[in-house]
Structure 1
Amino acid sequence: MIRVLVVDDEALIRTGFQHILDTAQDIEVVAAVPGGEAVQTAQTTCPDVVLLDIRMPDVDGLTVLTRLRQLPHPPIVAMLTTFDMDDYVETALRSGAAGFLLKDTDPEELPFLVRTLADGGTVLSSKVTRTIVNRYLNAGARDPAGRSLDQLTDRERDVLVLIAGGLSNADIGARMHLSTGTVKDHVSAILTKLQVGSRVQAALLAERAGLLKPQREGERE
C-alpha cells in the first residue's frame, strides 16, 4: 500500500482528494490535515507521499516542505497549487519538491500520479510545466558552471533523459533492461554529480542542456 498524507487548508479539497485516492486499492490516505498539523502527522503516520498545498493561511507550505524533508525518513512531497504561475516554484524545487499538481487535476489521473511519485517518478501538471521550466531555467542561468552534464557517463545521460520524461525507476529499468536497484544507483549518481536535490531539478537541467527533443504544442500532455 502507498501511504498518502494530504495537507491543505481547505476541508473540501482535503476531503475530495481523500475520496478520490481511497477508491484505489493500492493507496491509503493515512490522514488529511491543515498545514499546521502536517509535520506532526507525518511523524506519527509515516506517509510515503505527501500532497502539500503550497499556499496556506496558517503556515507557509514551503516551511512545511522544508521540515518534512528534514525528517529522518522524509516522504516524497508534491506541491498542490491553483496557480498557473507561482512565485514559490523555484524555492520549492530547491527545497526538494518532487513535483507540482494543480488542484483541478483530473480525478482519474490522481491515483496514477501518486503511484508515479511513490516509485520515484517526476510529476508536473501539464498546465504548469512550461511556467516551471521557464522560471527554473532562467534562475539556472545564474547557477555555477559546475552543473555541466559533461561529467555524466553515457548511461547516466540516458537515464537522465528518461527521468526528464517523467518515468519512474521501474519504468526506466524496463526501458533500459536494468534492475530497479541499478537504476536507483544511476539516479543517485546523477543527482550527486549535478549537485541537485531532486529528480525535478535534474530534469530541468536536462531541459536547459537541450537533451530533450522539443515538443510541438499539440504534443504536450
Structure 2
Amino acid sequence: MTEASVLIWDEQELMRVGLRMVVDSQADLTVVGEAGDGEAGLTQALTLRPDLVLMDVRLPRLDGISAIAQLHAVLPGTRVLVITACDRDEYAYAALRAGASGFVVKDVPAAEMLVAIRGVLRGDAMIAPSVTRRLIDRYVTGAVAPLTDARLDVLTDREREVLGLIARGLNNVEIAEKLFLGETTVKTHVARILTKLHIRDRVEAVVLAYESGLVRPGG
C-alpha cells in the first residue's frame, strides 16, 4: 500500500500531537514532520516534499495565507487542508484563493477529519458545511458580478453540465448516476474541464462555476 506523506503546521503543540495521532493511526498515511510556524513549515516542505500539508491559517512568523500561496508556487503538487478554530469567511475564502484544497474546523470528529484528508488527497474540494453556505452567500450571491469573459466557451455542453454538478457538490459517482454515464466517462470529463480551464482541482472549479454565473446558489 502506498503511503501518503503528511506535514503538520500548527502553533499549538497539543494540536500537532493530536493530528499526528489521528494520521499515524492509518496504514495509508504517515506524518513526516511538524512545524510551529509558517517559515519553518515552508523550509520543511521544500526538504520533505509532502503529499499533504495540514495547517492552521493563523501561524507566527509567516501567516497561513501567505504560506499557502508560497507553498503552492514552489510545490504545486502538494495539497493543503486548512484545519483551524477560526472559521471566519475571510480566512476560508483567502485560503482557497491562495491554493488550499480544503477548509475544516478543528472540532470535527477524527473520522470526519480523515474523510477530509483523503478527499483532498483525491483532489476533491473538502469545505466545512458551516463555511460553504456563508462563502457562497457573502462572496458570490450579489457580491461578485457574473464574469462575461470567454473562459467557459472552451467547454462542450456536456462539460458545462458536469462542471455545474461539481459545483453543486456531487462526486463522480453521483454525477454518473444523474447523467446516466459511466464513472470513467465522468472522470474523463472532469479531467478535460480542469485542463481546458487551466485550473488545479475541483476547489477552483467550484469557485469558477459560481463566479462565472454558470451556477447560482439555490438555482
Scaled by the length of structure 2, what TM-score is found?
0.80
Superposed CA offset, 1:8-53 (max 9, x none): 1111111111101111111111112112311111112111111121
Superposed CA offset, 1:142-196 (max 9, x none): 5742166455312322332343354667x5797642268725532423533xxx5
Q: Which runs of 5+ in 2 are unaligned?
A: none
Residue 154 (str. 1) matches residue 157 (str. 2): yes
Distance of aligned partners of 1:48 and 1:149 in 2 relative to their CA distance in 1, 3 Å threshold: same
1:122 counterpart letter in structure 2: A
Answer yes or no: is the 8 Å Cα contact 2:5–2:32 preserved in 1: yes
> Corresponding residue for 1:9?
11
Residue 95 (str. 1) matches residue 98 (str. 2): yes
Answer yes or no: is the 8 Å Cα contact 1:6–1:52 preserved in 2: yes
Distance of aligned partners of 1:31 and 1:143 in 2 relative to their CA distance in 1, 3 Å threshold: farther
Deviation of residue 106 (structure 1)? 1.4
Scaled by the length of structure 1, what TM-score is found?
0.79
> Corresponding residue for 2:36?
34
Q: Which runs of 5+ in 1 are unaligned?
A: 216-221
Residue 114 (str. 1) matches residue 117 (str. 2): yes
Q: 3-state DSSP class of the match of 1:13? A: helix
> Corresponding residue for 1:219?
none
1:155 counterpart letter in structure 2: R
Deviation of residue 133 (structure 1)? 2.0
Percentage of pairs with the same residue: 32
Taking CA–CA contacts closer than 8 Å with sequence separation of 6 or more, which of the two structures ends up with the larger relative contact order? Answer: 1
Q: 3-state DSSP class of the match of 2:15? A: helix
How many aligned positions are there?
Answer: 211
2:92 counterpart letter in structure 1: V
Answer yes or no: is the 8 Å Cα contact 1:96–1:198 preserved in 2: no
